[in-house]
Amino acid sequence: MVLLEKATYASDYDAVLHLVLDSAMIWYFFITTWAVLYVALSYAARVGHAERAAAAYRAEAQSAQLRALRYQINPHFLFNTLNSLSTLVLQGRTDEADRMIVNLSTFFRTSLTSDHTADIRLADEIVMQRLYLDIEQIRFPDRLKVVVDAPGDLSDAMVPGLILQPIVENAIKHGVAGSTAQVTVTIRARAADGMLHLSVEDDANGIPQKRPGAGVGLGNVRERLAMRFDGRATCSHGPRAGGGYRVELSMPLRRDG
């Protein structure tokens, strides 16, 4: 009888021990699983935060570089315009100098108050280029003719602000200023296959096909396009068959709003 009680006690003890051990193992795996999950979630959160921070830093760096590229345009244009203004004053052409000052003021007020990294409507970009060309027409009243061929349905297409400025300026500097005959500077816009195509060309005959200094302005344009569109935009240029020079930009067609 005593042996039976001892055997029963031992059996109950083993059962309790197994139950405790099973419970301990279950809780061990439960706690371990939660610990691993917590560590994984914490790591994922840290990685996510690091990725967001890195993306923010990249965006800020790109924004800063775009601003730097944009700032490269304005001083160059300003120096050239001030030189022209000085010439007008020395020649006593005060009315023309006054018009140039008004146009210059309007150009810079519009340019400097805009977001240097934001895109603008094509219609606004063309307005800016007309302001610049109006200034240059005061310098070259008999040598510069301007043609703008941009369909109205593309007026809300979005482009990087002042993206045409270095190209138009090159057309004036190396086409109009270097010619004794009248030169037509043409700005065109068209859309095809989801792409916006912008071109600036001049018909200056007798001007050397390779234009010194054009590489700086076009290099600026190419770099801005590369940063803005991540390789989806192109800039091609070269002499026209009938004389003069042509630059074409192609970029994804995006609409305002």
Percent of the chain predicted with pLDDT > 90: 29
Mean pLDDT for all residues in the chain: 78
Domain of 238, in residue numbers: 68-252
Say whether 121 sits in a helix, a strand or coil: strand
62 domain residue, yes or no: no
pLDDT band per the 50, 70, 90 thresholds, residue 5:
very low
The answer to whether position 167 is within a domain reads yes
- 1 domain residue, yes or no: no
DSSP 81: H
CB-based contacts of 223, cutoff 8 Å, min separation 6: 69
Most confident range (mean pLDDT) of 82-86, 245-249, 253-257 is 245-249
CA 186 – CA 205 distance, rounded (Å) = 15
Classified as helix, coil or strand, 187 is strand
pLDDT exceeds cutoff 80 at 245? yes
CATH number at residue 93: 3.30.565.10
For residue 189, is pLDDT > 60?
yes
Residue with tokens 């345009």: 73
Q: What is the mean pLDDT of residues 196-222?
A: 77
Q: In this structure, what token pair is assigned to residue 27?
A: 């809780």
Residue 26 lies in a domain: no
Predicted confidence at residue 249, as pLDDT, reads 97
Number of domains within the chain? 1
Of 30-44, 88-102, 163-177, 188-202, the one with minimum mean pLDDT is 30-44
- Let me know if residue 163 belongs to a domain: yes
Is residue 10 in some structural domain? Answer: no
Q: What is the pLDDT averaged over residues 40-46?
A: 66
Per-residue pLDDT tens over the stretch 126-183:
998 998 899 888 888 899 999 999 999 999 999 998 899 889 988 998 899 888 899 9
Q: Within a domain: residue 76?
A: yes
> Which of 151, 107, 160 lies closest to 133 in space, CA to CA?
107
Q: Residue 244: beta bridge partners? A: none
- Residue 205 vs residues 69, 73, 108, 177: alpha-carbon distances, Å: 31, 27, 32, 12
Rounded Cα distance between 97 and 85, Å, is 6
Domain assignment present for 219: yes
User: Residue holding tokens 């027409």?
Assistant: 137
Query: Stretch 112-139: mean pLDDT, rounded?
Result: 84
- Residue 28 scores a pLDDT above 70: no
Q: Under 8 Å CB-to-CB from 200, ≥6 apart: which residues? A: 164, 167, 168, 171, 185, 186, 187, 188, 246, 247
| Residue 107 vs residue 158, higher pLDDT | 158
Report pLDDT for 230: 87
Mean pLDDT of 13-32: 62
d(CA 127, CA 123): 6
